[in-house]
Amino acid sequence: MHTWKRGALWGVATIALLAVSASGKPLSGQSDAASRPATPVANDSWPEVNLNVVVLDKQGVPQKVNEREFQLFEDDAERPLHFLGSADSPVSLALIIDTSGSMYNRQGSITAAVHAILNGLPNGSEVMAVLFADEAFLDLPFTPASGIDYSFLDRLNARGGTTLYDTVVEAEKYFAAHARYVRRAIVLISDGGDNSSHSPRADAIRSLQWPGAPTLYSLHLPDTEVSGVGTRHGKLAMELFAKAGGGVSFTPKEKDFAPAIARLADMIRSQYVLHFTTADPARDGRAHKLEVRLPIKDVEVHALPVYCAPAK
């Protein structure tokens, strides 16, 4: 069984050390390439772009389609496509879990959701987990899903403030630096509130939109003790994160919780990866509009609506 020291995702002024493993070595430079399986990994070299896509019917059920029917438009101009990541290929998954005081009495739901999602991942997948309140910790660096030590869930002790926006920004940085596979997803579990971040929500939204970014699914678990206005505000925030991250937002009622989590897990398993070369290779940080089309009725295509070019 592996054990991990908690490593803060950020320091006093900047985020220098992301985490510390049990051996005390910084995780900022994982170098385990020799042990990685012979599965195609993400092509992170600009101007190549990978786009994760999920296709749903009107009831939110993932659909299998002929990938050759996808059309991708970048800034309203169609781009030639290649296709990566078969339906059974591994997924790089990040769990970002709110453990602030407003998540009191949500530990059972979070634990059930995590187990259901991870049990449904394709063989060979990898998982990381960030737990946050008024600080964020990388409680599980990227680890093979088949060998996860679930003891990180023992730290779901709800207390403290909430740095949701800061955590999303820094978790995305870690994900971009260390994820192995082209099929990528994030599950953000929170009530959607934030009362301690230095980053504005706009920065957190922008951090989701980079070439090769994971699809973000939000699981909204509202605080039943806050006002209706507060609950609606949190739900809206979680919906905005999911829309900006090309995914889907869930706010399941207790009786619908298990089916909703099963559907979420199915969406992660069902993602396609579209690969294209940008028409504008400038490293200028500019936002590029994306649109994915399918000549099929009664389906919804979920993908990043925008991605931002890397800056110099």
CATH number at 227 reads 3.40.50.410
Please indicate, yes or no, whether residues 155 and 189 belong to a single structural domain of this protein: yes
Please indicate, yes or no, whether residues 215 and 285 belong to a single structural domain of this protein: no
User: Which residue in the block uniquely carries the two structure tokens 């991605």?
Assistant: 307
Please indicate, yes or no, whether residues 156 and 277 belong to a single structural domain of this protein: no
Please indicate, yes or no, whether residues 70 and 129 belong to a single structural domain of this protein: no
Query: In sequence order, what are the beta bridge partners of 51?
Result: 274
Cα–Cα distance for residue pair 41/292, rounded to 1 Å = 23
Determine which helix (DSSP H) or strand (DSSP E) holds 215, and give its type and residue range.
strand 215-220
Q: With bands split at pLDDT 50, 70 and 90, how would you rate the model's confidence at 312?
A: confident
Q: CA-CA distances (angstroms) from residue 143 to 137, 185, 298?
A: 15, 15, 38
pLDDT in tens, 62-75: 999 999 999 999 99
Please indicate, yes or no, whether residues 245 and 286 belong to a single structural domain of this protein: no
Please indicate, yes or no, whether residues 211 and 287 belong to a single structural domain of this protein: no
In a domain, 18, yes or no: no
pLDDT in tens, 235-290: 999 999 999 999 999 999 989 999 999 999 999 999 999 999 999 999 999 999 99
Report CA 130 to chain centroid distance, whole Å.
11
Please indicate, yes or no, whether residues 169 and 235 belong to a single structural domain of this protein: yes
The residue with greater pLDDT, 235 or 29, is 235
Percent residues over pLDDT 70 in the chain: 84
Please indicate, yes or no, whether residues 178 and 55 belong to a single structural domain of this protein: no
In a domain, 33, yes or no: no
- Domain extent at residue 122: 88-268
Please indicate, yes or no, whether residues 197 and 121 belong to a single structural domain of this protein: yes
pLDDT in tens, 187-205: 999 999 999 999 999 999 9
In a domain, 174, yes or no: yes
* Both structure tokens of 43: 């092509």
Please indicate, yes or no, whether residues 133 and 213 belong to a single structural domain of this protein: yes
Give the DSSP per-residue string, 51-103: EEEEEEETTS-B----GGG-EEEETTEEE--EEE--TTS--EEEEEEE-SGGG
Please indicate, yes or no, whether residues 196 and 65 belong to a single structural domain of this protein: no
Please indicate, yes or no, whether residues 211 and 131 belong to a single structural domain of this protein: yes
Taking the CA of residue 204 as centre, how many other CA atoms within 13 Å lie in the half-sphere pointing to its CB? 22
Q: Is the pTM of this model over 0.85?
A: yes
pLDDT in tens, 35-93: 333 344 554 579 999 999 999 999 999 999 999 999 999 999 999 999 998 888 999 99
